[in-house]
A and B are shown apart, each in its own frame.
Chain A
Amino acid sequence: MSNVSLVQRASNSARLRRNLSIGIRLVIAILLIIFSVFPVLWMISASFNPTGSLATQTLIPPNAGLDNYRKLLTSQEFPFWRWMWNSIKISSITSVLSLSITTVAAYAFSRFRFRGRLTMLKGILLLNVFPGLLALVATFLMISQLGDVFPAFGLNTHASLILVYLGGAMGINIWLIKGYIDTIPRDIDESAMMEGASDWQIFTMLILPLLRPILIVIAIISYIGTYGEFVLARVLLKSSEQYTLMVGLQIFAGAQFQQRWGVFAAGALLGALPIMLIYLLLQDHIIGGLTQGAVKG
């Protein structure tokens, strides 16, 4: 009898301890969430604050309105849609082309055996370790020289920026995709070859469909990366109508930041929203791809 109550009391106290521990952890979670979310909330609030200035902002602005958005979308000096379009265009072209280059190369690395294969794979890995940023000066000078011959690929063109981005396409993703192709049994290729299929047919009709899930994830990650890149774009693009959104926002933020805070926040929010949505909707896939890529790298 007394034994039963003892056990009960013990289990009661264990449950109490467990609840207490969950409670404490929830409090910590809430503090962390405030830390994480506050800057983003602050940005949202600033974008609806009609006075548009940094000094007068409160978390819940009185007379919240869309003034900043109207200013943002009608201002001559801040061609928001133009910048957004530039960013979307450059990121889309870059991610599609770089994925194509990478996938075809990864197929060759996975299925063919040739002299120097391993050296090349390692070389690609090592090359990626050096951030492209370091060769910024040389890249800038080179693009300016290229522009003297082909103005369409010179400074202040989107084509030059895309070319430089593509120069980094042969990177870590080759390892990632090659890893996936390695897991596809060669029997499939060989039976197709028996029936007279060429390498190219095997690649496009057999391998590519199987790779689709991972390719989509890599394309999205590469899209997000290009969308957020700003150093190269900042150095290569010179005129306002050519800017990507990130360059435009950075330059806009440089001048009279405090007075134009509201408009900046509105632009920042609209610019960040697509990426945030992609992340939050596809978080499991993207995180899987990210950590895998990183661990493999």
Chain B
Amino acid sequence: MTVFTPSVSDKTKTSSPILGLVGRLAFLVVLDAAALWFVARLMSLGYFPFGAAVSMITVAVNLILLIKKAYPLRWMVIGLVLMVMFTIYPIVFTVWVAFTNYGEGHLVTKQQAIAQILKAKYLPASGQSYKWTAFRSPTGEYALWLQDSAGNGYLAKPGEPLLQPQPGEAGIGQLDEKGIPQSIEGYQRLNVLQAAADKTLTEIQFGEAGKTIQIRSPGEAAELLPLYVYDEAQDAMINQETGVVYRNLRGSFTAPGGQSLQPGFIAPVQFDNFRDFFLSPALRGPLLRVVAWNFGFAFFSLLLNFSLGLAIAVLFNDPRFPFKKIIRSLLIIPYTVPALITILIWRGMMNPQLGVINRTMNTLFGWSPPWFTDEWWAKIAILLVNLWLSYPYFMLVCSGALQSISEDYYAAAQVDGASPWQQFRYITLPLLLVAVGPLLVASFTFNFNNFNLIYLFNAGGPPIAGAPTPAGHTDILISYVYNLAFSGSRGINYGFASAITIIIFFIVGAITLFQFRYTRMWEEVSENV
């Protein structure tokens, strides 16, 4: 079905390049040097997928600029680079994330998590503990004056063995009544408040390696040992105090009893996120509602918006109709205001106590719909606002399509005595649907992911009671995904959000492929080119 010419046509062979060869080579040298540096930086930060993507793009750009056959691609190389980087790469990345547990509690890489866990210390049974006083040099070096329970004083500096100096030795000044030196040469004594405010102090390991002393509390410094040791062979953390082994279980070092060490890390979880989507009993209730409403919303939006648009187009499809131009201008007004603004205006107008709609209805009928608190009224409100937003589009499209239907059909139908309804039913509608069919499918997929409307109007509310992750009665999948990833209230879960994203991909993709097949669009496309 594809009809491509296997080789570059004669025309391109003779044509001159956009840049001369020298210019291109000079450009590539600069580009490659910059890219090399960029990739090195990305890799050193641990952003491997991103680095790999940049590398591949750079190689491709080199090929495009050097290979003669790729000449046509030089015309679109900037667009292609941007497309791969900012459209395709995020999609690929989404697929990767969908198979991991990336999210709250699993935000860092394994190396980072191990490094953090290894920082934990404990006081062994034999360990000595001291009272401490901190000293700081103007250059930011620290020293500790330690006193054991017997009242002996020691001087501790990072990386140096512990000293037990007398006043006068090692720069130690006179001791005060508590046995603490007034001064140490080269250092300033910190008072309790200064020491408490100094965040780096608790991080520093004083004394020589293997016998380090650290501050545990405002009153205590002690010889601490690392609480955990990482055993690479078992891929496990071993608690030195209790001997408990924490094995790597899907991105968390977990003890046999089930408790796990923080932080966890990003780890592959195969199809878990997808299984959760389809099978998790806690999620199933809210998710089923979300999916059902997602389809219902897209379907009824399409039905209502198209019907009203079509009805208007048919009613006013009369060239002699008075004020036609003015009427059209007024009717497309909803279409001309940025949707964000009008959605927010509608939100104000439908405010249950204060909005104009509810105040008017309260005055007239003594009752008004609870647009934001009742599940069904919220859905009706959304459909109503969407109708307002979208019918002008269908009105325009339909009146365009109506004008392209030949008058002859109607003349013939009148001769045969067809009623206006029959003419509409058997001539107008079928011909119109052929013309606007692709637009209907496109509109369905657009509304299927109409995040703006849902998010801006009521953020998916009212909430579904008892849902394990935030979900509302008017949430559609994409707004549910947004909550999972960005709401930050209950459990960010990028992995699960990405998995749902991919499921949406497949739904929308299936609908679109159906459209292409149904409307024979590929064939048309092939003919056009």
Contact of B451 among A140, A167, A231, A275 (CB under 8 A): A231
Residues of A within 8 A of B94 (CB): 134-135, 137-138
A167 lies within 8 A of B83 (CB): yes
A114 lies within 8 A of B529 (CB): no
Interface of chain A, helix or strand or loop or mixed?
Answer: helix
Q: How far is the CB of A109 from chain B (nearest CB, A)?
A: 8
Residue of B42, B356, B388 with most chain A CB atoms under a 10 A cut-off: B356
B82 lies within 8 A of A114 (CB): no
Asked whether any CB of chain A lies closer than 8 Å to the CB of B4, the reply is yes
A163 lies within 8 A of B82 (CB): yes
Asked whether any CB of chain A lies closer than 8 Å to the CB of B315, the reply is yes
Q: How far is the CB of B449 from chain A (nearest CB, A)?
A: 5
Residue of B400, B456, B529 with most chain A CB atoms under a 10 A cut-off: B529
Which of chain B's residues 471-529 have a Cβ closer than 8 Å to chain A? Answer: 478, 481-482, 485-486, 494, 497-498, 501, 504-505, 508-509, 512, 522, 525-526, 528-529
A291 lies within 8 A of B397 (CB): yes
A250 lies within 8 A of B505 (CB): no
Q: A43-B345, A114-B12 are in contact. Are A54 and B354 (CB under 8 A)?
A: yes
B79 lies within 8 A of A142 (CB): no
Residues of B within 8 A of A40 (CB): 333-334, 337, 342, 345
B429-453 vs A, Cβ < 8 Å mask (1 yes, 0 no)? 0000001001100100110010110
Q: A28-B315, A112-B9, A145-B45 are in contact. Are A179 and B528 (CB under 8 A)?
A: yes
B344 lies within 8 A of A264 (CB): yes
B449 lies within 8 A of A25 (CB): no
Contact of A137 among B75, B79, B442, B494 (CB under 8 A): B494
Contact of A36 among B90, B392, B449, B494 (CB under 8 A): B392
Complex CA distance for A167 and B400, rounded to whole angstroms:
32
Q: How far is the CB of B502 from chain A (nearest CB, A)?
A: 8
A249 lies within 8 A of B485 (CB): no
Q: How far is the CB of A154 from chain B (nearest CB, A)?
A: 12
Complex CA distance for A126 and B494, rounded to whole angstroms:
25
Asked whether any CB of chain B lies closer than 8 Å to the CB of A185, the reply is no
Contact of A39 among B83, B349, B353 (CB under 8 A): B349
A134 lies within 8 A of B505 (CB): yes
Q: How far is the CB of A25 from chain B (nearest CB, A)?
A: 5
B45 lies within 8 A of A297 (CB): no
Which of chain A's residues 193-239 have a Cβ closer than 8 Å to chain B? Answer: 193, 198-200, 224, 227-228, 230-231, 235
Q: A54-B348, A112-B9, A167-B87 are in contact. Are A33 and B339 (CB under 8 A)?
A: no
A36 lies within 8 A of B330 (CB): yes
Residue of B312, B452, B508 with most chain A CB atoms under a 10 A cut-off: B452
Asked whether any CB of chain B lies closer than 8 Å to the CB of A55, the reply is yes
A246 lies within 8 A of B42 (CB): no
Complex CA distance for A144 and B486, rounded to whole angstroms:
14
Residues of B within 8 A of A168 (CB): 83, 86-87
B50 lies within 8 A of A142 (CB): yes
Asked whether any CB of chain A lies closer than 8 Å to the CB of B351, the reply is yes
Asked whether any CB of chain B lies closer than 8 Å to the CB of A279, the reply is yes
A149-172 vs B, Cβ < 8 Å mask (1 yes, 0 no)? 100000000000001101111100
Q: A129-B445, A272-B338, A275-B338 are in contact. Are A167 and B85 (CB under 8 A)?
A: yes
Asked whether any CB of chain B lies closer than 8 Å to the CB of A141, the reply is yes
Asked whether any CB of chain A lies closer than 8 Å to the CB of B5, the reply is yes
Asked whether any CB of chain A lies closer than 8 Å to the CB of B126, the reply is no
B79 lies within 8 A of A102 (CB): yes
B16 lies within 8 A of A199 (CB): yes
Looking at the complex, which of B65-73, B112-120, B277-285 is the stretch in contact with chain A? B65-73
Asked whether any CB of chain A lies closer than 8 Å to the CB of B187, the reply is no
A170 lies within 8 A of B80 (CB): yes
A135 lies within 8 A of B388 (CB): no
Asked whether any CB of chain B lies closer than 8 Å to the CB of A52, the reply is no
Complex CA distance for A149 and B340, rounded to whole angstroms:
33
Complex CA distance for A275 and B334, rounded to whole angstroms:
12
Q: A142-B50, A170-B83 are in contact. Are A118 and B456 (CB under 8 A)?
A: no
Residues of B within 8 A of A116 (CB): 4
Complex CA distance for A272 and B340, rounded to whole angstroms:
10
Asked whether any CB of chain B lies closer than 8 Å to the CB of A64, the reply is no
B335 lies within 8 A of A279 (CB): yes
Q: A118-B2, A118-B4, A119-B2 are in contact. Are A131 and B322 (CB under 8 A)?
A: no
* Interface residues in B, total, Cβ within 8 A: 108
Q: How far is the CB of B182 from chain A (nearest CB, A)?
A: 46
Contact of A141 among B38, B93, B339 (CB under 8 A): B93
Residues of B within 8 A of A231 (CB): 451-452, 455
B525 lies within 8 A of A122 (CB): yes
Asked whether any CB of chain A lies closer than 8 Å to the CB of B321, the reply is yes
Complex CA distance for A107 and B79, rounded to whole angstroms:
13
Contact of B69 among A105, A114, A138, A253 (CB under 8 A): A114
Asked whether any CB of chain A lies closer than 8 Å to the CB of B380, the reply is no
Complex CA distance for A138 and B327, rounded to whole angstroms:
45
A83-102 vs B, Cβ < 8 Å mask (1 yes, 0 no)? 00000000000000000011
Q: How far is the CB of B237 from chain A (nearest CB, A)?
A: 27
Q: How far is the CB of A164 from chain B (nearest CB, A)?
A: 5
Q: A105-B79, A136-B482 are in contact. Are A131 and B449 (CB under 8 A)?
A: yes
A29 lies within 8 A of B316 (CB): yes
Please name the residue on chain B nearest to A148 by beta carbon.
B45
Complex CA distance for A253 and B344, rounded to whole angstroms:
8
Asked whether any CB of chain B lies closer than 8 Å to the CB of A48, the reply is no
Please name the residue on chain A nearest to B88 by beta carbon.
A127
Residues of B within 8 A of A125 (CB): 525
Asked whether any CB of chain A lies closer than 8 Å to the CB of B78, the reply is yes
Residues of A within 8 A of B485 (CB): 136-137, 140
Q: How far is the CB of A212 from chain B (nearest CB, A)?
A: 19
Residues of B within 8 A of A272 (CB): 336-338, 341
B356 lies within 8 A of A42 (CB): yes
Asked whether any CB of chain B lies closer than 8 Å to the CB of A285, the reply is no
Residues of A within 8 A of B356 (CB): 42, 57
Asked whether any CB of chain B lies closer than 8 Å to the CB of A280, the reply is yes
Residues of A within 8 A of B333 (CB): 36-37, 40, 276
Q: A134-B94, A170-B82 are in contact. Are A235 and B45 (CB under 8 A)?
A: no
Which of chain A's residues 264-296 have a Cβ closer than 8 Å to chain B? Answer: 264-265, 268, 271-272, 275-276, 279-280, 283, 287, 290-291, 294-295
25 intermolecular pairs with C-beta atoms under 8 Å apart: A40-B333, A40-B345, A42-B356, A101-B79, A101-B82, A108-B72, A113-B9, A114-B12, A114-B72, A114-B73, A117-B529, A118-B525, A130-B91, A135-B91, A135-B501, A137-B497, A145-B47, A164-B86, A167-B86, A182-B528, A224-B338, A231-B455, A264-B344, A279-B332, A287-B332
Interface residues of B (CB under 8 A from A): 2-9, 11-12, 15-16, 18, 38, 41-42, 45, 47, 50, 69, 71-73, 75-76, 78-80, 82-83, 85-91, 93-94, 97, 312, 315-316, 321-323, 327-342, 344-349, 351, 353-356, 388, 392, 396-397, 400, 435, 438-439, 442, 445-446, 449, 451-452, 455-456, 478, 481-482, 485-486, 494, 497-498, 501, 504-505, 508-509, 512, 522, 525-526, 528-529
Known contacts A25-B321, A138-B89, A287-B400, then 13 further A-B pairs from the complex at CB < 8 Å, ordered by chain A residue = A39-B388, A42-B356, A101-B76, A112-B72, A114-B73, A133-B478, A135-B87, A135-B93, A145-B50, A250-B456, A257-B348, A275-B336, A283-B328
